[in-house]
Chains A and B, each alone.
Chain A
Amino acid sequence: MLKSRQELKDLREKCRKAAKDEVRKILVCSGTGCVASGAQEVYDSFREILERLAIPVSLRFIEDGHGVGLKKSGCQALCEKGVLVRVEPEGYLYTKVKPSDCETIVTETIEQGRHVEGLAYKDHDGRVCKTTGEIPFFKKQTRLVLENCGNIDAESFLEYLSAGGYSSFEKALYDMNSQQVIQEIADSKLRGRGGGGFPTGYKWQQVYRQKLFPKYIVCNGDEGDPGAFMDCSIMEGDPHRMLEGMLIAGRAVGASAGYIYVRAEYPLAVRRLKKAIADLEKYGLAGENILGTDFSFKFKINRGAGAFVCGEGSALTASIEGKRGFPRVKPPRTVEHGLFDKPTVLNNVETFANVTVIIDKGADFYKKIGTESSPGTKAFSITGNIENTGLIEVPLGMTLKEVIFDVGGGMKGGKKFKAVQIGGPSGACLTEEHFDLPLDFDSLAKAGAMIGSGGLVVADEDTCMVELARFFMNFTQRESCGKCIPCREGTKRMLLILERVVSGNGRSSDIENLMDLAQTIKDTALCGLGKTAPSPVLSTIKNFRDEYMAHIVDKQCPARSCEKLKKFYIEPELCKGCVKCAKLCPASAISGKAKEAFSINPEICTRCGICVSGCKYAAIKEAW
């Protein structure tokens, strides 16, 4: 239990020194992705081999003395290439590591410092990249928030300290008063990373002014966007950075408790946060009279129970209060009457992680990154049909083109870029014409899109945009809380229309009705999620109206993706008239005279495909 600033400083110094002494480290990526790929087995294998070879190993930072540091790190970002292992001090990154590779890594790299080329990352042109610094994916990134993520043991409080941890909080607690902390955040122009981009400093100032106590800090870790996992990576990979940000917020506005609402699907994040909070309590950085001061702050974790809408602020606080996740009408605003009707700072995981950076490095430093109105960095998860899928952090204002081609490595399999869906089910799609669009809050808003939580899903020429719109509408419709009429009834109608369109039953009035419904929902829905639910439809109609028309008028899917619009036909030149297909067809859709070319009646055909595999002459073709 640390009882003073000096004790904290001393411990940090001890950790720093220990980290310096710990020259050799094996960092086994233990993010959700790599765990799924077998990170635990790789870790166990390293441990077993090191012990077998009698190489001193340090599993617990400091406590195990000076051996090879074997660590479970946070997400190392190239999830698809997992299990990722990095060996320090060389910085060699090994990809797709299996337990059977561990012995080679130990004998080659650990014992002799040699690089194992077979496990190295190879770029687009097959060039071997030994370290992350050589990989194009990392070159254009600026890792501020994710600085520690992947570089330290995600479960070690002491290692976080060794990396300068809790010095921001220390500063905020001893060297600054509330107003100064808030001013620093305001000066940094930090904007909430959860979607809306609301100025964080302004929000804090409002809560600070409230006379009602207790006040609460709430961290939104309910990352519901299906295709985003930045917050997950921070909670799993560097939980202390976020907790430190919450402590700073608590200190700034005079709050005494912090609630962390974590999505149900993130059990690893919950486990790591619990461990981190237990460590904070153990070391006296959480609880009563922190570091012997009069500042007290308790952490609580609430696990989500499966409702996307709880990512909306008032629904989230309702859920913590043990209620249905219904958003409520505002005013009163969360800053005045938030959790348990008390003044509440509600920010998301990434925002709190940024706070720690700003207090540490100062608003002036922070503002140099990113753009004038959107300073700092933003973490994105890029997924879909792109070469490098994974977690990235880039300065705000980077153009779409840079993100997709320089960081993301371009399209997978050399396919043609079609669009990128940004902001998930609340977001919009951007196309080639937006390549030079800077990704920041205001530019995106102008383009009718939003950063949202930061999910980037890249679609290539084979992706049907109508189907993508249907997918998102299906999601929002399923996740609609049902409280307000426009969202509950309107999204249901939009989905029914979209389902009809992708199955070839679209009507000429469908686009018009979709637009009418979309506009109504956008303007009248109760909460932010409802208001943005029609965005994917509006933006795909705007950018890909032709595709909608093709589905509705021609009953065709230009991307050759919509299963129900697939047609089978028999190439007359290739058909020998063997009758086999007609016999196989369970729907009796194929007819013709023996020894002459057969044909398929599209009205009857159920598109089961049995005839295709049955035809010896490959005469049956698919068309859209």
Chain B
Amino acid sequence: MKGYMTIDDIPVEIHDERNMLELIRKAGIELPTFCYYTELSIHGACRMCLVENEKGGLEAACSEPPKPGHKIRTNTARLRKYRKNILELLLSNHNRDCTICNKNGECRLQSIANKFGIKNIRYINTSYTPEPDESSASISIDRSKCILCGDCIRVCNEIQNVGAIDFAFRGSHMKVATAFGVPMADSPCVGCGQCAAICPTGAISVKNSLEAVWTDLLDKTTEVTVQIAPAVRVGIGKHLGFEDGKNAMGLIVAALRRMGFAKVFDTTLGADLTVQEESREFLEYVSKPHDLPLFTSCCPAWINYVEKRHPDLFPHVSSCKSPMQMFGALVKEYYKDNGKRHVHVAIMPCTAKKYEAVRPQFAKDGKPVVDHVLSTQGLIHMIEQSGTRFDTLEPEAVDNPFGIVSGAGVIFGVTGGVTEAVLRALSEDASNAALLATSMAGERGMEGLKEFEVEHKGETVRVAVVSGLGNAGRLVDDIKSGKKSFDFVEVMACPGGCVCGASQPYAPPDVKEIRGKGLYSIDKLMSCKRSGDNPILEDLNEGILKGREHELLHVSYVSDGKHGA
């Protein structure tokens, strides 16, 4: 303890809080903020977190360090007035079509304005006329809703190091823009969607394919199948009265069946196939001399990043399709002679999957194998729209013939999971002790970069597990400059992995960690822990995949010469 501060007459102990805001929140007081996030640099621009000290001075709680003996108040007449005035100023420059907004009900501006009871706005509305940028497959941009908090810019630059957007112009002409205001699709954007996840308003939102899914689902001549990514089951969250991190898979399956999906599958089987292919590829890769490591390929935002920033790395990126695309190819193959029009939907925690699905490299007969990518949030809306009460459902199992999955495939949804799954596959020892040892090799944990070595058949394998494209970019620089050297590198674009994907309901870092732990708990309950032990794989290898592994499970991003997203 480092003394205490008096907040609204309550003494609060100071420990390691970085600023007064953290301390105030620790004291159980929720100060409104638009631009503060623990994982981002302090911007200090929204001025909503101002507090009043004993002398009547105002201090921004987000930037002031806690000071022992300091006395502050968080809710005085002045502060109330100023917060309301700031909200009024924001709203006077905001497209207030709230009821038809993508973020209706999830908008921080809306909820804070509601809390403060803003009923009257004295100034004429000067917001832009909406000019949405729909060029990206992953996100929608509507500047008329932007409050210029800069959260998206800081995520894009500080965390993801993508640098697609920044502030342009200044003063009342300031806006968030790409270089020269080009459409998002023509910018360095990789579609990771982290900007949309953090945006407190409807200015940036995840693209929504709800209506298209409903249309196909309600069309009697169409058979709609669906696959569910591992991370979705632990992130569906509070919206449906469910705890973050708890396995909701059975309920999701039940809900989807009620809605009319003909078959419900688990993307985890795709992950098992990925492990099979990738470990085979890895063994071959390390048996030859190599300066650069083999990079994983499951993450589509990472693929986009390589394509736009480091196309020279492609020869070192695994040729495996992502689990979604492997599974999609499999399902399409399975249903090809079904007689009925078949549509395949993937429910994903990821915004970049939306672009991956329409990539020309994956098209079969000119059509994508995954017809629609539905976000976790989209799934929540669909369930709500269907009228199904989630809390009344009984859990159900996924459908055959793809009904069995391994624990290794489930943990694909968290940083380090792919690596662990591959390590399990490489290990010849299937004992529990060996599994435990593998889990402690260094791949687990939410840190952005983990580096470690493992032994494989007497050889040392140097592994890096990286999440967050900013971390990945720095690692690539270090590898290219020869500062660091590895044999295998797992990359996930979202910090923490897919459980923290931008299509999941927004969650602060501690909740993201709970989701990650949720996947490990599921793994624990699985009897089949290693992908190779999944009996379905053998059937597939001998059946549908026989002789067609390359066509159905592998991809080359450079062969067709197309590089732009």
**Do any CB atoms of chain A lie under 8 A from CB atoms of chain B in the complex?**
yes
Is there an interface contact between A477 and B171, defined as CB atoms closer than 8 Å? yes
Binary flags per residue of B123-144, CB closer than 8 Å to A gives 1, else 0: 1001000000000000000000
Binary flags per residue of A474-500, CB closer than 8 Å to B gives 1, else 0: 000111111111101111110010000
Given contacts A489-B89, A524-B58, A526-B47, contact A482 B82 (CB under 8 A): no
The answer to the question of A328 belonging to the interface, with a C-beta cut-off of 8 Å to chain B, is yes
Is there an interface contact between A524 and B86, defined as CB atoms closer than 8 Å? yes
Binary flags per residue of A451-492, CB closer than 8 Å to B gives 1, else 0: 000000000000000000000000001111111111011111
Given contacts A329-B60, A483-B45, A520-B86, contact A488 B167 (CB under 8 A): no
Given contacts A482-B148, A488-B148, contact A520 B172 (CB under 8 A): no
Contact of B171 among A488, A520, A523 (CB under 8 A): A488
CA distance A200 to B172 in the complex (A): 35
Residues of B within 8 A of A480 (CB): 170-172
The answer to the question of B90 belonging to the interface, with a C-beta cut-off of 8 Å to chain A, is yes
Interface centre among A477, A478, A484, by most chain B C-beta atoms within 10 angstroms, is A484
CA distance A513 to B62 in the complex (A): 29
Binary flags per residue of B71-97, CB closer than 8 Å to A gives 1, else 0: 000000010011001100110110000
Task: Give how many A residues have a beta carbon under 8 Å from the other chain's beta carbons.
Answer: 32
By beta carbon, the residue of chain A nearest B90 is A485
Is there an interface contact between A526 and B122, defined as CB atoms closer than 8 Å? no
Residues of B within 8 A of A10 (CB): none
Residues of A within 8 A of B172 (CB): 477, 480, 482, 488-489, 491-492
Residues of B within 8 A of A493 (CB): 89, 92, 123
Residues 37-81 of B contacting A (Cβ, < 8 Å): 42-47, 50, 58, 60, 62-65, 78, 81
Contact of B63 among A331, A483, A516, A520 (CB under 8 A): A331
Contact of A489 among B82, B93, B150 (CB under 8 A): B93
Is there an interface contact between A482 and B62, defined as CB atoms closer than 8 Å? no
Is there an interface contact between A523 and B58, defined as CB atoms closer than 8 Å? yes
Residues of B within 8 A of A513 (CB): 122
Interface centre among B58, B86, B170, by most chain A C-beta atoms within 10 angstroms, is B170
Min CB distance, B148 to chain A, in Å?
7
Is there an interface contact between B171 and A489, defined as CB atoms closer than 8 Å? no
The answer to the question of A525 belonging to the interface, with a C-beta cut-off of 8 Å to chain B, is yes
CA distance A330 to B59 in the complex (A): 10
Residues 71-128 of A contacting B (Cβ, < 8 Å): none
Residues of A within 8 A of B150 (CB): 483
CA distance A524 to B90 in the complex (A): 14
By beta carbon, the residue of chain A nearest B91 is A489
Interface centre among B58, B92, B123, B147, by most chain A C-beta atoms within 10 angstroms, is B123
The answer to the question of B119 belonging to the interface, with a C-beta cut-off of 8 Å to chain A, is no
CA distance A520 to B86 in the complex (A): 8
The answer to the question of A324 belonging to the interface, with a C-beta cut-off of 8 Å to chain B, is yes
Is there an interface contact between A489 and B92, defined as CB atoms closer than 8 Å? yes
Is there an interface contact between A482 and B122, defined as CB atoms closer than 8 Å? no
By beta carbon, the residue of chain B nearest A495 is B172
By beta carbon, the residue of chain B nearest A487 is B171
By beta carbon, the residue of chain A nearest B169 is A482
By beta carbon, the residue of chain A nearest B150 is A483
Is there an interface contact between A485 and B82, defined as CB atoms closer than 8 Å? no
Is there an interface contact between A482 and B78, defined as CB atoms closer than 8 Å? no
Residues of A within 8 A of B63 (CB): 329-331
Residues of A within 8 A of B171 (CB): 477-482, 488, 492
CA distance A517 to B43 in the complex (A): 23
CA distance A37 to B50 in the complex (A): 51
Is there an interface contact between A526 and B50, defined as CB atoms closer than 8 Å? no
The answer to the question of A161 belonging to the interface, with a C-beta cut-off of 8 Å to chain B, is no
Given contacts A329-B63, A482-B172, A488-B172, contact A526 B44 (CB under 8 A): yes
Is there an interface contact between B86 and A486, defined as CB atoms closer than 8 Å? yes
Residues of B within 8 A of A481 (CB): 170-171
The answer to the question of B546 belonging to the interface, with a C-beta cut-off of 8 Å to chain A, is no
Residues of A within 8 A of B173 (CB): 482
Residues of B within 8 A of A517 (CB): 85
Binary flags per residue of A247-266, CB closer than 8 Å to B gives 1, else 0: 00000000000000000000
The answer to the question of B174 belonging to the interface, with a C-beta cut-off of 8 Å to chain A, is yes
Is there an interface contact between A324 and B89, defined as CB atoms closer than 8 Å? no
Min CB distance, A93 to chain B, in Å?
44
Min CB distance, A484 to chain B, in Å?
5
**Interface footprint category on B:** 35 or more
Is there an interface contact between A523 and B42, defined as CB atoms closer than 8 Å? no
Residues of B within 8 A of A404 (CB): none
Residues of B within 8 A of A492 (CB): 93, 126, 171-172
CA distance A520 to B87 in the complex (A): 12
Is there an interface contact between A523 and B78, defined as CB atoms closer than 8 Å? yes
By beta carbon, the residue of chain A nearest B64 is A331
Given contacts A329-B63, A482-B148, A517-B85, contact A488 B122 (CB under 8 A): no
Min CB distance, B54 to chain A, in Å?
16
By beta carbon, the residue of chain B nearest A493 is B123
By beta carbon, the residue of chain A nearest B86 is A485
CA distance A484 to B42 in the complex (A): 13
Min CB distance, B448 to chain A, in Å?
22
The answer to the question of A511 belonging to the interface, with a C-beta cut-off of 8 Å to chain B, is no
CA distance A490 to B93 in the complex (A): 11
Min CB distance, B94 to chain A, in Å?
10
Binary flags per residue of B493-522, CB closer than 8 Å to A gives 1, else 0: 000000000000000000000000000000
Residues of A within 8 A of B43 (CB): 329, 483
Residues of A within 8 A of B81 (CB): 520
Given contacts A477-B172, A488-B148, A513-B122, contact A331 B65 (CB under 8 A): yes
CA distance A517 to B92 in the complex (A): 13
CA distance A150 to B148 in the complex (A): 49
Is there an interface contact between B47 and A486, defined as CB atoms closer than 8 Å? yes
Binary flags per residue of B8-44, CB closer than 8 Å to A gives 1, else 0: 0000000000000000000000000000000000111
Residues of B within 8 A of A520 (CB): 81-82, 85-86
Min CB distance, A496 to chain B, in Å?
8
Contact of A485 among B89, B126, B170 (CB under 8 A): B89
Is there an interface contact between B45 and A489, defined as CB atoms closer than 8 Å? no
CA distance A496 to B78 in the complex (A): 25
The answer to the question of A307 belonging to the interface, with a C-beta cut-off of 8 Å to chain B, is yes
Residues of A within 8 A of B78 (CB): 523
Min CB distance, B41 to chain A, in Å?
9
Min CB distance, B90 to chain A, in Å?
6
Given contacts A329-B60, A523-B58, A523-B78, contact A488 B174 (CB under 8 A): yes
A-B contact list, 17 entries, CB within 8 Å = A307-B170, A329-B44, A330-B63, A331-B65, A477-B172, A479-B171, A480-B171, A482-B169, A482-B170, A482-B173, A485-B45, A485-B46, A488-B174, A490-B89, A493-B89, A523-B82, A526-B44
Besides the contacts A330-B63, A491-B172, A525-B47, what 14 more A-B pairs have beta carbons closer than 8 Å? Answer: A329-B42, A329-B63, A331-B64, A331-B65, A477-B171, A482-B170, A483-B43, A485-B147, A485-B148, A489-B93, A490-B89, A517-B85, A520-B85, A526-B60
